[in-house]
Amino acid sequence: MARIFFLFCLIAFGKDIESSSLKLDQVLMLSRHNIRTPLTSNLEKYSPQIWPSFNGSAGYLTAKGALVESYLAEYISEWLASVHFIEGCPKQEDVLVYSNTKPRTRDTAKAFTDAAFRSCNITYHHDKNIDVFDPIFFPIFHNNSEVLKQLRIEEMQSKINNTDLTESYLELNKILDLQNSNICKQESLCDLTQIKNEAVYEEGEEPNVSGALTIGNNIIDTFIMSYYEGFPNENIAWGKITTEHQWELLAKIIQLSQDVRFNLTTGAIDIAQPLLKYMSDIFQNGKPKFTMLVGHDSNLNSVISAMGFKHFELENQYETFPIGGKLVFQKWSDGTTDYLKVEYFYLTFPQLRNAEKLSVQHPPQRVLLELKDCKTDDYGYCPWSDFIKFLDNIVA
């Protein structure tokens, strides 16, 4: 009855639910690292044009990436203070910032920690063995039975076969001038629409694809990172991307690459299992108070797929899991009952390119999410007990 009256008051007086009698008790964020150099550097053969160069090795956080992450951290710190969750320096035991072992995730975690808890005695953590992927974040299949293996290959190949990317590949052909490239002259690879895509399943390795989808994904990733890094327009795909429609076409390639590999009904829970178990333990224990886990788009994709979130759209973004984006789990309480609220925090294409300073008055984008197995009210809250029951089922 108290909950019904409380919601009635919010509707009647138009109050924001986070400034009401609900209290924020716990926050867990699953984040993608921030702006990095492209993962692939040997792209010269795909175009006769000169590729722009990045400072630093492939796959490393850029200085701008660290800056943008610090702006996100400052905003999050300000938001948490505004709802009286963390004000001033927290206790060490109340905060966990934990990252994968890749340099870009470690450096993102450091940038976040330094900015969110400035002048506080808070450090970030990662596995000691930095030469290998932390098993918690490693997006591989763990159950490799022959039956599951066949089902997953079939699902991956079905996603490939049932998605028509002809228009996207033709646009990329044109931007690259692929017909005049070295790979066309030397290997007769002159048209991406003619290159077959095949699902690749290797035990102990990430799910993958061979063919035009992977080639296109690597090239477009370079275009996007060039845009985020603030390269002049003429150095982003040689100035050939001039419309939103072109970005939308190209983004379809990276979106399918992600979905084929990690958004699988036959494998997402298995891929995300170590990370889901790690998160579940934190939710079950109620400790620490604040957790930030820094991984990759593959982690966000597999976790969101495994947990069965309803479809959501990100406005002013072409990436499904943008650089620096954060899946934010929040535990709220009215003193009697606990509730879950989940949001996706992210920066728009222009916000990333311009490295816009953030604040509660000028926030990142925030999209309310809903789990299929935890029905929310009009304000995005579902019973915490339902969420815990759901978690028990998928991490069992």
Annotated active-site positions, please?
33, 297
202: tokens are 């290797």
Task: Report whether the peptide linkage leading into residue 288 is cis, meaning its omega lies within 30 degrees of zero.
Answer: yes
The answer to whether residues 63 and 102 touch, using CB atoms and an 8 Å cutoff, is no
DSSP code per residue over 276-308: HHHHHHHHHHT-SSEEEEEE-HHHHHHHHHHHT
Beta strands in the chain (DSSP E): 23-32, 95-99, 125-126, 198-200, 208-210, 290-295, 326-333, 338-346, 365-369, 382-383
C-alpha dist (Å) from residue 80 to 73, 229, 369, 373: 10, 28, 19, 27
The C-alpha R_g of the chain, in whole angstroms, comes to 22
C-alpha dist (Å) from residue 220 to 3, 130, 248, 254, 368: 49, 28, 11, 7, 28
Round to whole Å and give the CA distance between 50 and 226.
Answer: 14
